[in-house]
Amino acid sequence: MSLRSRLILRAAVGLLLSGAMLFVPAGSLQYWQAWAFLAIVFSFIPFTFFYFYRHDRQLLERRLRSKENLREQRNLIRYLKPVFVLVMLLPGLDRRFGWSRMPVWVSIVADAALIGAFVLLFWVIKVNTFASRTIGIEPGQKVIDTGPYALVRHPMYSGSILLFISLPLALGSYVALPAFALLLPFYVLRLLYEEKFLEKEFSGYREYCQRTRYQLIPSVW
């Protein structure tokens, strides 16, 4: 399949699966938080695909890869996928059974945080054309220390963690928030494995770590 066809297919499948995981457990389409979430996500995704299709198609090719070469990372992915599906069902169930009583403004603030997370993720991949979904080193790859990489060493993970913390609140569910926290160890372990790999295999990474001390949160961690 052409790159364009793969991008369209991935967006369409993602939309259908996301909608199913939200509306089927909710038992209703009258779930405004889910509609708002889908509108945010599926405005960002086509924009990102279109932008990089015009400006950096090789980055999109790298982002479409999903097969990890490192055994530790494959094990983490196997852990993440079922946990993610299960926790994504909780907000819809919360909507159906009315477990949470969340003020509208909380979901709106969380939507704003979601937008901020997506803007950060876009900034990361715009600055770093080698920002692949899998851990590895590409021919000609250099250490990036500008943009968000001047603040933390793993801004992609920072954006992803912000997204997963904001998501249950954006979907109107306090109950799902602790469940989404189960996803955070995945990013911490992945970060530790990645740092170990990069320090060993990536020329200049140790010096970069000395210049940029924090991994995820500026001045905190």
Q: Where are the domains of the chain?
A: 3-211
CB 103 within 8 A of CB 95: no
Answer yes or no: pTM beyond 0.75: yes
pLDDT surpassing 90 at residue 63: no
pLDDT recorded at residue 186:
82
The predicted model gives 23-45 an average pLDDT of 95
Sign of CA dihedral 77, 185, 159, 85: positive
Percent of the chain with pLDDT over 90: 52
CA-based R_g, the chain, Å: 18
pLDDT recorded at residue 77:
78
pLDDT recorded at residue 93:
96
pLDDT recorded at residue 197:
86
Long-range contact list for 49-54, CB < 8 A, 24+ apart?
49/7, 49/11, 52/125, 53/3, 53/4, 53/7
CB 21 within 8 A of CB 94: no
The predicted model gives 148-173 an average pLDDT of 93
More confident residue, 137 or 13: 13
pLDDT recorded at residue 159:
93
More confident residue, 92 or 202: 92
Burial of 188 (0-12, 13-18, 19+ CB in 10 A): middle
pLDDT tier at 84, thresholds 50, 70, 90: confident
Look up the CATH architecture of domain 3-211.
Up-down Bundle (1.20)
Query: Averaging pLDDT over each range in 24-28, 126-130, 141-145, 161-165, which range is the top one?
Result: 24-28
pLDDT surpassing 90 at residue 184: no
The predicted model gives 210-216 an average pLDDT of 90
Averaged pLDDT score across all residues of the chain: 89
Asked which of 79-83, 128-132, 144-148, 196-200 is least confident by mean pLDDT, the reply is: 79-83
pLDDT tier at 82, thresholds 50, 70, 90: confident
pLDDT surpassing 80 at residue 57: yes
The predicted model gives 134-145 an average pLDDT of 83
